[in-house]
Amino acid sequence: MKMWTREDWKALFNGHSRIPERTVSEVCFAVIDSETTGLDPTKDRILSLGGVKIIQGRIAVRDTLEIFIAQDHFDASSVPIHGILKTGPNARIPEKQALVQLGSYLEDAVLVGHHIGFDLEMIRQAQGRHGLPPLQNIALDTGRLYRKTLLKTPLLPKKPSYSLDELAKKFDISCKDRHTALGDAYITALAFMHLLGQLNIKSDTPLRDLVRMAR
């Protein structure tokens, strides 16, 4: 998996000058996740995409996204992790159609994800295969935000990264639907809301301040 540099994250956040002058309560957050055949964006493919929106501090349970993508490339060795077979009860749609549907769902929302850089790189690679423009949304990583909540102490040094399972355990979130794109998006949405509280991000906090914190 690609290790993201500070410059990568600057590009991902599009620079402070492009951040809308809105408060957190005025922003639609779209929490996304992908299940893939592996961890190499140049070779692997997206199996499914999931999305959950947070509007005015609440999860919009009736405004979710779940897409399964028809597979030409398939790695059976990853099935034990995500449980997605090449064929199954869920309708599969072509990759390009899935990407267009994803774009329509996201619109101008602020994206949220756990280790979202990987998901966005998988999506970017897929968009490139079909000549589609890359997403321009601001993005926030719950992994990076979580590290900001931890105390700096030599007795308990911070790890380079924390898994979604670790966040779920920390915030007592059920992992019943773990390793499904929609399930992981929902778990991440709950974790994100806990993180906003721990970071003292209120409804009237400028979005700019939250983005700066996520760096």
From residue 64, how far is each of 102, 109, 142, 143 by CA, in Å? 11, 13, 19, 22
Q: Is the pLDDT at 2 greater than 60, yes or no?
A: no
pTM (two decimals) = 0.87
Q: Is the pLDDT at 42 greater than 90, yes or no?
A: yes
Q: Under DSSP, is residue 128 helix (H, G, I), strand (E, B) or coil?
A: helix
Q: Which of 57-66, 69-78, 122-131, 173-182 has the lowest mean pLDDT?
A: 69-78
Average pLDDT over all residues of the chain:
88
CA 88, distance to chain mean position in Å, is 25
Q: Note the pLDDT tens digit of each residue in 117-132.
A: 999 999 999 999 999 9
Question: What's the rounded mean pLDDT across residues 17-36?
Answer: 91
Q: What is residue 85's predicted lDDT score, i.e. its pLDDT?
A: 54
**Is the Cβ–Cβ distance between 13 and 117 less than 8 Å?**
no
**Is the Cβ–Cβ distance between 44 and 34 less than 8 Å?**
no
**How many residues are present in the chain?**
215
Q: What is residue 14's predicted lDDT score, i.e. its pLDDT?
A: 47
Task: Go through the domains of the chain in sequence order and give each one's CATH number.
Answer: 6-199 (3.30.420.10)
Q: Is the pLDDT at 116 greater than 60, yes or no?
A: yes
